[in-house]
A = this chain, B = another copy of it.
Amino acid sequence: MSEFDLINQYFKTASVKRKDVVLGIGDDCALLSPPPGKQLAVSTDTLISGVHFPENTKPEDIGYKSLAVNLSDLAAMGAEPAWVSLAISLPEVNETWLEGFMSGFSELAQQYNVSLIGGDTTRGPLSVTVSITGFVSAGAALRRDAAKAGDYIYVTGSLGDARLGLEAILNNTVIDNDVQFCINRLNRPEARVLAGRLLSELTDITAIDISDGLLADLSHICEASKTGASIELQSLPLSTQLRRVYQQQPEWEKVLSAGDDYELCFCCSPGQESAVLETFKAHDIVLNKIGVITESKGIQCVQADGSLLEIDHQGYNHFQSE
């Protein structure tokens, strides 16, 4: 089967129809009509086998996750997902793999009405690069450089589940229901698209998605905003499942540096807090206040007894030895 047949068979049929896609897969370029007056938010992420997911990950999960991590970047800007390009490198033609991949990818694409507008398939070591475009009103995007001392720091959902799931896979742990929950969080992260869009309608919000771990990603906010932060470990949201596995003794360093949960971390001014809480309550989105932005640089992690946790490792970094 030729590259072009592959593209036609799996990609064209999988694509969601949108009116703003004038010409989809099949020509030299896709042609798109952006909505008047909106800005475009664009992000690109690569997932490499053995680096970003274990080599035995199911193709359905790779397809799902490759779109989810890009949706998460749009969520962190408060943008509405629209179009996506997909570049896949495969060691060999494998229709079963492609079918599985596209079923996971399409499940999420349909959920968010994202149209697959093009891409490239090449022979090579397994990797997936997704480039996504969303829409956001001018001035409404959630940037990471707007935090001010005194802002409260919030995170959605829970932290650390995906990392525990990854460790369970790598260490061949016995997989009970709690561990399976964590593995699902690793393979099928839920991008916080709605949360991001709700936040983009408010003012004085600074946001990032947690892909490399809370400490690493919060430090991006702090660096961009020229601030520091103080967080209370007791306030970090842990799932019931994670608490059971940890037997109520969270390994804080792991939770703080856990990537792959794809929750949002955001800061809001005290004056905006009630609006934030009301909005999230109305949409039933789990939210926890974990700390405050400070004038002094660096991130302090305060333990239950008031002492500070010493931390070596701030997050996952693809180019540093771990």
B46 x A122 contact (CB < 8 A): yes
B318 x A31 contact (CB < 8 A): no
Query: Cβ of A3 < 8 Å from any Cβ of B?
Result: yes
Min CB distance A47 to B, Å, is: 8
Take A3-B317, A28-B76, A29-B79 as given contacts and tell me if A89 and B121 are in contact as well, using a CB distance cutoff of 8 Å.
Answer: no
Query: Cβ of A63 < 8 Å from any Cβ of B?
Result: no
Query: Cβ of A138 < 8 Å from any Cβ of B?
Result: yes
- In the complex the two chains form, what is the Cα distance from A2 to B52 in whole Å? 17
B2 x A77 contact (CB < 8 A): no
Take A119-B44, A129-B87 as given contacts and tell me if A31 and B317 are in contact as well, using a CB distance cutoff of 8 Å.
Answer: no
Query: Cβ of A26 < 8 Å from any Cβ of B?
Result: yes
A319 x B3 contact (CB < 8 A): yes
A31 x B26 contact (CB < 8 A): no
Take A33-B138, A141-B23 as given contacts and tell me if A44 and B224 are in contact as well, using a CB distance cutoff of 8 Å.
Answer: no
Take A32-B42, A85-B44 as given contacts and tell me if A123 and B23 are in contact as well, using a CB distance cutoff of 8 Å.
Answer: no
A180-212 interface (Cβ within 8 A of B) = 207-209
- In the complex the two chains form, what is the Cα distance from A250 to B62 in whole Å? 47
Residue of B nearest to A196 (CB): B28
- In the complex the two chains form, what is the Cα distance from A6 to B86 in whole Å? 24
Residue of B nearest to A43 (CB): B29
A77 x B28 contact (CB < 8 A): yes
Of B27, B33, B41, B124, the contact of A77 (CB 8 Å cutoff): B27
Take A3-B317, A123-B319, A319-B6 as given contacts and tell me if A31 and B41 are in contact as well, using a CB distance cutoff of 8 Å.
Answer: yes
B317 x A2 contact (CB < 8 A): yes
Kindly supply a per-residue 1/0 record for chain A positions 164-185, scoring 1 wherever the CB is within 8 Å of any chain B CB and 0 otherwise: 0000000000000000000000
A14-36 interface (Cβ within 8 A of B) = 22-23, 26-34, 36
- In the complex the two chains form, what is the Cα distance from A41 to B52 in whole Å? 30
Query: Cβ of A304 < 8 Å from any Cβ of B?
Result: no
- In the complex the two chains form, what is the Cα distance from A110 to B52 in whole Å? 33
Query: Cβ of A67 < 8 Å from any Cβ of B?
Result: no
A121 x B319 contact (CB < 8 A): yes
Of B40, B46, B83, B208, the contact of A120 (CB 8 Å cutoff): B46
- In the complex the two chains form, what is the Cα distance from A161 to B1 in whole Å? 28
Query: Cβ of A302 < 8 Å from any Cβ of B?
Result: no
A124 x B127 contact (CB < 8 A): yes
A23 neighbours in B (Cβ, 8 Å): 141, 143
A320 neighbours in B (Cβ, 8 Å): 2
Take A22-B39, A129-B129 as given contacts and tell me if A89 and B28 are in contact as well, using a CB distance cutoff of 8 Å.
Answer: no
Of B89, B131, B136, the contact of A44 (CB 8 Å cutoff): B131
Interface pairs A-B: 4 shortest CB-CB: A28-B76, A29-B41, A48-B124, A131-B131
